Chains A and B, each alone.
Chain A
């Protein structure tokens, strides 16, 4: 029974660090990257297992004021609008409280300008009353080029400007920013010295960090200090088809099959054709990824953290053998593939935990090609594409296909390249029957073909 308990979802495989819920409060003029940071941070925290939700006050405003006319709405003397904006902020705060108390949220990212001391005081009181910790993230930037680029990247596509052409949108938005400027009170190093915050200057060239209270704030600061906005692409690929792939066996440390070797060569040609500036190449410590990288003829770095999920006692078995020898384990895995840990092995949840330093370094890097494994690929992809834990273990990551991820606006553009070398299919869908007493046929229903 204890054996079950440890592998069941009762205990998370990573320590729980949050006691009180935390509100992350953005501060800054429009077009300073607040929403970009909010979305990215939310995505990262959810991926590492901290339930996080973003609350964008602009969204609330759009729901309240169906049609956006122009910047005049934001004029400081527009009393009607002021009332609406205050009400929207209050509604968002209420939803934050509901998220914490009813949905077991741990972190709420409150995305708005919050440029006045008065507004921030309201938030602080609200949080104090309810026992939430508050951490401010202020983005300060006066570089007109960066601001113009921001406006182009994310404001032109905004629902506010759906009927405007590019020049009209730009002109209106610039005046919108001006509406905030007069009343903008940045966080003050003296007056606000008791608050917990990070000030980000000029898209990360400088940071001021004050009073980090706990583990989660420390992780948030570390993350924010490692992300950048320099354009680049991340290429993800699995190793070429391996000998064990061919026989339908999981795990192990086999070499490439002949087709796998062909893929390695095709990958080399593909990468060469992409003409990538200063590409870094990463592999795991397993033979098949290293063999694949060898074909590229460039330096690569081996990361043990990129090794495939450890299937423990099931290493090198086929699904049929697992069903035969460990039918209960097989069923438990189908019941909760994310949290299920192989006996003497790992779970997807464990994998995410060990991949976190890889993600952190990927954020720091520019152009990178990561040659890895199916489960690892799924975890990395889930991070970049914001996929939740229950989808992650079923993401499709076929052999011999390169994914090119290019960050754009608030998300990631994905281009998929199948390099035209046949390979076995290693994707096993969740079967309909996940009961521990199911018959073998039901269990093996979705196993892909192999030798």
Chain B
């Protein structure tokens, strides 16, 4: 970083200019802003899954990819099975995966190489930072190929191995995600299970798990028994450390996450943003309806979280159960625009108003926050949501959009425009590789606080 030879005492410091949209101070010379890339990772990272079929590799790959993208690390997954399906068009049976099927092996190897090629394209050309290479990768030989590929391209490699011998868990996996696989569109349940079990058998004889001694110089996490136990070896950098922390906090116990906003507030009625007002009469009605709704749902061990703003706390108070207040769940700080109406912002800060519409995700209110800032402060909330089971989060519009974007894998571009109306509860239930969403409007009128993306900019 600090190289003696290059060091020079600047007599006149570079001018700083504040980026008008993001409110970030950057040095500029002759009016041009000098770009400094600020990022947590230097070389791109290749995450490589390892494990027999039906061990949750794709589940983990998709979830991890979703999480990393949400926190702002451009990530993409590459599922070799997809490549195989595109190559083969029609899947006949498990026989394709027999270790003595030379034709099959050739195709599978080609598919892996094609996927690696796309990985290279994504990481070296398209500016991706993390690629998740989702395949069984059960032989030392295959992993050796990948490691060499990574070395040649300057990528760091981190293996994620999933080991599980519990027949119930495996059967459950097959039912949850294999029945609906394109491979089995014309098969009934028994046929699928029978074929898939034979498919797993094809891999078993050649499976070489990551070895504590032979692979001691590799960076990896071994996940055993669906997260009961982990072996973590040689975490190299920040992003790997975050990945390990995330993987160690997720679980697959069935549960539901309920998201809603506070009841309508006095400032909502006046069309003013932010502030810390109490509930309107209709907002209080909503709180009562929420109470009834929650009771009818009959939820086991429900936890309730609110922000530290009056309106969410008032809403939760009505439920008559203990709740926990998180400052991190507070609404986005609109800085100088707090408690203003959009018309007033347009009048007093027309430039700011326009900039916000240009890039609502990255736009930071003067002396306030951006959606991007919000995501960063909500990350510990998401981490804890992953650890928890049944939970109701009573929060705010911008906050709910960020949380929803995480669960439904929405891009930064879409996030600030997600519809999160008042007096509506969203019930999210993780299922297969995604999330089932049920939207329940509790029948209490309210103002509409949604401001869609303007047509003309």
On A, residues with C-beta under 8 Å from B are 2, 6, 11, 13-16, 189, 193, 205-212, 215, 218, 221-222, 225-226, 255, 261, 264-265, 268-269, 271-272, 275-276, 278-281, 285-287, 290-291, 294-302, 304-305, 315, 344, 350, 353-354, 361, 364
Contact = CB atoms under 8 A, between A and B. Distances in A.
Nearest to A209: B230
Given A207-B232, A294-B13, A295-B10, A364 B248 contact: no
Given A210-B229, A285-B23, 5 more contacts: A225-B232, A291-B16, A294-B13, A299-B1, A364-B238
A304 B376 contact: yes
A285 B25 contact: yes
Contacts of B376: 304-305
Contacts of B7: 272, 297
B232 A218 contact: no
Nearest to B314: A2
A127 B8 CA distance: 61
A209 B222 CA distance: 10
Contacts of B245: 218, 222, 225
B228 A210 contact: yes
A269 B338 CA distance: 43
Interface string B166-209: 00000000000000000000000000000000000000000000
B216 to A, nearest CB: 8
Contacts of B308: 6, 11, 13
Contacts, number: 126
A209 B248 contact: yes
Interface of B: 1-2, 4, 6-10, 13-14, 16, 18, 23-25, 27, 36, 38, 212, 216, 228-235, 237-238, 241, 244-245, 248-249, 276, 305, 308, 310, 324-328, 338, 367, 373, 376-377, 384, 387
B228 A211 contact: yes
A344 B6 CA distance: 45
13 contacts: A205-B234, A206-B231, A206-B234, A207-B232, A209-B229, A209-B230, A210-B228, A218-B245, A272-B7, A278-B2, A279-B2, A297-B6, A344-B338
Max count, chain A CB within 10 A of own CB: residue among B228, B230, B327 = B327
A302 B232 contact: no
Contacts of A301: 38
Contacts of A290: 16, 25
B9 A269 contact: yes
Contact of A279 (B1, B10, B18): B1
A251 to B, nearest CB: 10
Max count, chain A CB within 10 A of own CB: residue among B2, B212, B367 = B2
Contact of B241 (A226, A268, A350): A226
Nearest to A252: B367
Contacts of A268: 9-10
A-B CB proximity, top 10 nearest: A207-B232, A209-B230, A15-B324, A210-B229, A279-B2, A290-B25, A206-B233, A222-B245, A279-B1, A13-B327
Given A15-B325, A269-B9, A315-B367, A225 B235 contact: yes
Contacts of B9: 265, 268-269, 297
